Structure 1
Amino acid sequence: MEGENVTTMVEERKAIPDKRSNFSGKMTAPLFAWPWENFGNYKYLFYVALLVKYSYSTTIQEGTKENNWCFHILLLFCLRGLVYQLWSSYDYMFFLNRTRRISEEGIDFKQIDAEWHWDNFLILHAIVAVLAYWSFPSLANLPLWDGRGIICCLALHIGVSEPMYYWLHRLLHSPYLFENYHWLHHSSKVSHPFTAGHATFLEHLILFLVIGVPTLGTAFIGYGSISMMYGYILHFDFLRCLGHSNVEVIPHHLFKTIPLLRYLFCTPTYHNIHHKDMRTNFCLFMPIFDILGKTINAHYSDHHKEISSRKNTRVPDFVFLGHVVDMMSSMHVQFVFRSFSSIPFSIKFFLFPMWPFTFLFMLAMWAKSKTFLVSFYNLRGRLYQTWVVPRFGFQYFLPFAAEGINKQIEEAILRADRLGVKVISLAALNKNESLNGGGTLFVDKHPDLKVCVVHGNTLTAAVILNEIPQDVDEVFLTGSTSKLGRAIALYLARRRVRVLMLTQSTERFLKIQKEVPEELQKFLAQVTKYQAAKHCKTWIIGKWTTPREQNWAPSGTHFHQFVVPPIIPFRRDCTYGKLAAMKLPEDVEGLGSCEYTMGRGVVHACHAGGVVHFLEGWKHHEVGAINVDQIDVVWEAALRHGLKPM
Structure 2
Amino acid sequence: MVSSLSTWPGQILGSLKYYMLYGLLLGKAIYSGWEEGSIDWCLHIFILCALRALLYTLWNAYSNMLWINRNRRIIQRGVDFKQIDNEWHWDNFIVLQALIVALGLYKLPAALREEIPVVDTRGFIAAIVLHIVFSEPLYYVLHRCFHGSYLYGHFHSVHHSSPVPQPFTAGHATLLEQLVISGVMGIPVIGSCGMGYGSISMIYAYVLTFDFLRCLGHCNAEIVPHQIFQAFPVLKYLLYTPTYHSLHHTEMDSNFCLFMPLYDALGKTLNTKSWELQKNLSMNADKNKNIPDFVFLAHVVDVTSSMHAPFAFRSMASKPFAMKLILVPLWPIAFLFMVAMWAKSKTFLVSFYNLRGKLHQTWAVPRFGFHYFLPFCSQGINNLIEAAILRADKLGVKVISLAALNKNEALNGGGMLFVEKHPDLKVRVVHGNTLTAAVILDEIDQDVTEVFLTGATSKLGRAIALYLCRRKVRVLMLTSAAERFLKIKKEAPPEFQKYLVQVTKYQAAKHCKTWIVGKWTTPREQKWAPPGTHFHQFVVPPILAIRKDCTYGDLAAMRLPEDVEGLGCCEYTMDRGVVHACHAGGAVHYLEGWTHHEVGAIDVDRIDIVWEAALKHGFKPLSYSNTSLKNN
- For the superposition of Structure 1 and Structure 2, which TM-score range results when normalised by the shorter chain? over 0.9
Q: Deviation per CA, 1:352-393, whole angstroms, max 9, x where unpaired?
A: 222222222222222221111010000111000011111111
Give the conservation status (yes or no) of the 8 Å contact 2:402–2:431.
yes
Pairing 1:52–2:27 present = yes
Aligned to 1:485: 461
- Offset, 1:299: 1.0
How far apart, in 1, do the equivalents of 2:164 and 2:229 lie? Answer: 26
Give the conservation status (yes or no) of the 8 Å contact 1:196–1:241.
yes
Tell me which amino acid in the other structure corresponds to 1:643: F
Pairing 1:102–2:74 present = yes
How far apart, in 2, do the equivalents of 1:55 and 1:147 lie? Answer: 30
Runs of 4 or more, structure 1, over 4 Å off, are none
How far apart, in 2, do the equivalents of 1:498 and 1:297 lie? Answer: 71
Aligned to 1:215: 189
Give the conservation status (yes or no) of the 8 Å contact 1:146–1:224.
yes
- Offset, 1:200: 0.2
Tell me which amino acid in the other structure corresponds to 1:365: M
- Offset, 1:70: 0.5
1:532-547 alignment runs, 5 A limit: 532-547=508-523
Pairing 1:346–2:322 present = yes
Aligned to 1:17: none
Quick one: which of 57, 79, 83 aligns to 2:51? 79
Which secondary structure state, in structure 2, belongs to the residue aligned with residue 260 of structure 1? Answer: helix
How far apart, in 2, do the equivalents of 1:189 and 1:290 lie? Answer: 23
1:255-404 alignment runs, 5 A limit: 255-310=229-284, 311-404=287-380
Q: Deviation per CA, 1:392-447, whole angstroms, max 9, x where unpaired?
A: 11111122211111111011001000000000000000000011110001001111
Aligned to 2:629: none
How far apart, in 2, do the equivalents of 1:98 and 1:52 lie? Answer: 44
Give the conservation status (yes or no) of the 8 Å contact 1:139–1:219.
no
How far apart, in 1, do the equivalents of 2:74 and 2:291 lie? Answer: 16
How far apart, in 2, do the equivalents of 1:350 and 1:402 lie? Answer: 33
How far apart, in 1, do the equivalents of 2:356 and 2:314 lie? Answer: 24
Quick one: which of 229, 240, 248 aligns to 2:222? 248
Tell me which amino acid in the other structure corresponds to 1:202: L
- Offset, 1:139: 2.8
Pairing 1:179–2:153 present = yes
- Offset, 1:62: 3.4
How far apart, in 1, do the equivalents of 2:102 and 2:342 lie? Answer: 48
Pairing 1:435–2:411 present = yes
Pairing 1:579–2:594 present = no
Q: TM-score w.r.t. structure 1 length?
A: 0.95
Tell me which amino acid in the other structure corresponds to 1:318: F
1:128-277 alignment runs, 5 A limit: 128-137=100-109, 138-277=112-251
Give the conservation status (yes or no) of the 8 Å contact 2:123–2:192.
yes
Q: Deviation per CA, 1:563-616, whole angstroms, max 9, x where unpaired?
A: 000000010110000000000000000000000000001000000000100111
More off after superposition, 486-495 vs 508-517: 508-517
- Offset, 1:56: 2.4
Tell me which amino acid in the other structure corresponds to 1:285: F
Tell me which amino acid in the other structure corresponds to 2:223: V
How far apart, in 1, do the equivalents of 2:133 and 2:87 lie? Answer: 32
The share of aligned pairs that are identical, in percent, is 66
Which secondary structure state, in structure 2, belongs to the residue aligned with residue 36 of structure 1? Answer: helix
Pairing 1:622–2:594 present = no
Gaps of 5+ in 2: 623-632
Q: How many residues align?
A: 617
Give the conservation status (yes or no) of the 8 Å contact 2:33–2:40.
no
Give the conservation status (yes or no) of the 8 Å contact 2:299–2:366.
yes
Give the conservation status (yes or no) of the 8 Å contact 2:352–2:361.
yes
Tell me which amino acid in the other structure corresponds to 2:455: G
Aligned to 2:626: none
1:31-46 alignment runs, 5 A limit: 31-44=5-18, 45-46=20-21
1:584-599 alignment runs, 5 A limit: 584-599=560-575
Q: Deviation per CA, 1:188-241, whole angstroms, max 9, x where unpaired?
A: 000100000000000000001100000112112221110110010000000000
Give the conservation status (yes or no) of the 8 Å contact 1:68–1:140.
no
Aligned to 1:412: 388
How far apart, in 1, do the equivalents of 2:218 and 2:496 lie? Answer: 64
How far apart, in 1, do the equivalents of 2:106 and 2:334 lie? Answer: 43
How far apart, in 2, do the equivalents of 1:372 and 1:599 lie? Answer: 23
Tell me which amino acid in the other structure corresponds to 1:93: M
More off after superposition, 132-141 vs 457-466: 132-141
Gaps of 5+ in 1: 1-26
Which secondary structure state, in structure 1, belongs to the residue aligned with residue 361 of structure 2? Answer: strand
1:426-505 alignment runs, 5 A limit: 426-505=402-481
How far apart, in 2, do the equivalents of 1:94 and 1:571 lie? Answer: 41
Tell me which amino acid in the other structure corresponds to 2:92: N
How far apart, in 2, do the equivalents of 1:617 and 1:492 lie? Answer: 29
Aligned to 2:630: none
How far apart, in 2, do the equivalents of 1:601 and 1:643 lie? Answer: 10
- Offset, 1:124: 0.6
Aligned-CA RMSD value: 0.9
How far apart, in 2, do the equivalents of 1:52 and 1:334 lie? Answer: 33
How far apart, in 2, do the equivalents of 1:319 and 1:243 lie? Answer: 30
Give the conservation status (yes or no) of the 8 Å contact 2:32–2:40.
no
Q: Deviation per CA, 1:78-134, whole angstroms, max 9, x where unpaired?
A: 000111011001001111111111111000000000000000000011001111111
Tell me which amino acid in the other structure corresponds to 1:56: Y
Tell me which amino acid in the other structure corresponds to 1:209: G
- Offset, 1:58: 2.5
How far apart, in 2, do the equivalents of 1:227 and 1:331 lie? Answer: 33
Tell me which amino acid in the other structure corresponds to 2:33: T
Which secondary structure state, in structure 2, belongs to the residue aligned with residue 589 of structure 1? Answer: coil
How far apart, in 1, do the equivalents of 2:219 and 2:144 lie? Answer: 21
Q: Deviation per CA, 1:19-56, whole angstroms, max 9, x where unpaired?
A: xxxxxxxx612310011011111111111121222222
Pairing 1:526–2:498 present = no
More off after superposition, 236-245 vs 218-227: 218-227
Give the conservation status (yes or no) of the 8 Å contact 1:133–1:140.
no
How far apart, in 2, do the equivalents of 1:224 and 1:248 lie? Answer: 34
Tell me which amino acid in the other structure corresponds to 1:85: T
Tell me which amino acid in the other structure corresponds to 2:59: W
Give the conservation status (yes or no) of the 8 Å contact 1:539–1:558.
yes
